[in-house]
A and B are shown apart, each in its own frame.
Chain A
Amino acid sequence: ETGVTQSPTHLIKTRGQQVTLRCSSQSGHNTVSWYQQALGQGPQFIFQYYREEENGRGNFPPRFSGLQFPNYSSELNVNALELDDSALYLCASSFKVDEQFFGPGTRLTVL
């Protein structure tokens, strides 16, 4: 059984650019959640997708957007990058509400 995978592992962008991060969910999981983990902090919930529909959103601006595909993989898009967007972005997949399985994350650096 393949776990949650994310790509790319690392990414360097400059302010104002756009970025797309990708996540493949664990087999059988229909829900994907995205989190932002700034250095030295706990993960913050960005949004969740359930069966291709957004199912809840945290306190993040609209320039953070996402998609979920029919195979339940997902993308996180961030437009107009700011320096404060530098963080580890974590994807988690789940089938039930009582456990989420996390990927290794994508480290985004904005210069």
Chain B
Amino acid sequence: AQSVTQLDSQVPVFEEAPVELRCNYSSSVSVYLFWYVQYPNQGLQLLLKYLSGSTLVESINGFEAEFNKSQTSFHLRKPSVHISDTAEYFCAVSDSSNDYKLSFGAGTTVTVRA
């Protein structure tokens, strides 16, 4: 069975500063990896995903994540955050062992201050 650990529950950051959200997973087979964002009182929106191929994946709003198989990690980064990036971020994994059902981490709350 797979599991996901998000190492930081809260990350305060100043506007225009960089941010990194850490995610580690455990799985015995090839995985799909995802980052979802949840704004207050809303559902989840897919930020980016890794399925195969290039280990560096990017989103349209400046986030990127790198799949590191040896370290079983999928950390999320953004070089310069905006106030509008304040949200909860969830890392998720799926694999063939449970028919590709999503397993989520506990989430990281990012608060961007001016």
Contacts and interface: CB of A to CB of B under 8 A. Distances in A.
Interface stretch (A12-20, A38-46, A63-71, A72-80): A38-46
A56 B104 contact: no
A102 B49 contact: no
Main DSSP-derived SS at the A contact region: loop
B101 A45 contact: yes
Contacts of A103: 43
Interface residues of A, number: 24
A33 B101 contact: yes
B90 A43 contact: yes
> Chain B interface residue count: which class?
20 to 34
B32 A43 contact: no
Interface string B92-114: 10100011111111110000000
B17 interface: no
Given A33-B101, A55-B99, A98-B49, A42 B43 contact: no
Contacts of A97: 32, 94, 99-100
A56 to B, nearest CB: 5
Interface string A85-100: 0000010100001111
Interface of A: 4, 33, 35, 40-45, 48, 55-56, 58, 90, 92, 97-105
